[in-house]
Amino acid sequence: AAPHAASADATGATEFSCTHTMQVLEKREGVVTNHEVLSLLRRHAAARDDEEKRQKLPGARRTAPAVTQWRSQQEVRAITRQVIEYLEQGCAADQSRESIAEFMRAMEPFGLTQAEVLNLVNTRPRSLVEVHLIVEECEERLTQQQRTELLRRCALLDSSGGGDGGG
């Protein structure tokens, strides 16, 4: 199937449709952190910018499907930029692969679920109330000392590991 198709209705108006396919580059079971999403989006945005620099100017494109594709690319670029800006305002920008891996190892003794650890990484709670909101049945599963230690370790998440971890 062609990635772009055009059709005309009875009035002669032309409608364009554009389809894109996604391909799994690296199969990985599990979840991704906001830091990993931010790193991926930054890499894709840089690659897209490089590709755009190699393309002809949009005004030089004379066919409607090419203009539609260009507009679609611009919409993707705007959405990507907004998501990057949002993630950079959170704790994802301060984290590294190493600090996240170290944090996940430090969470093992607490017996948390993968979803709870992911939420701790992505939100980096600053109070025990936030820990209670993330960890289901927190008071039943963790002692007061464990909850306090968990919160202390969350505070270290962005400062341990150092650097951007290549991501």
Question: Burial code of 96-122, b = ≥16 C-beta within 10 A, e = fewer?
Answer: bbbbbebbbebbeebebeeebbbbbbb
pLDDT of residue 119: 94
| 167 residues of the chain, pLDDT tens digit each | 444 444 455 555 444 444 555 566 666 667 889 999 999 999 989 988 887 777 766 555 556 666 677 788 888 889 999 999 999 998 888 888 898 999 999 999 999 999 999 999 999 999 999 999 999 999 999 999 999 999 999 988 765 444 444 44
pLDDT of residue 155: 86
Helix (H, G, I), strand (E, B) or coil at 40: helix
pLDDT of residue 83: 94
Tell me how far apart the alpha carbons of residues 75 and 162 are, in angstroms, rounded to a whole number.
34
Tell me how far apart the alpha carbons of residues 135 and 116 are, in angstroms, rounded to a whole number.
6
pLDDT of residue 145: 96
pLDDT of residue 27: 67
pLDDT of residue 66: 67
Predicted TM-score (pTM) of this structure: 0.67
pLDDT of residue 25: 65
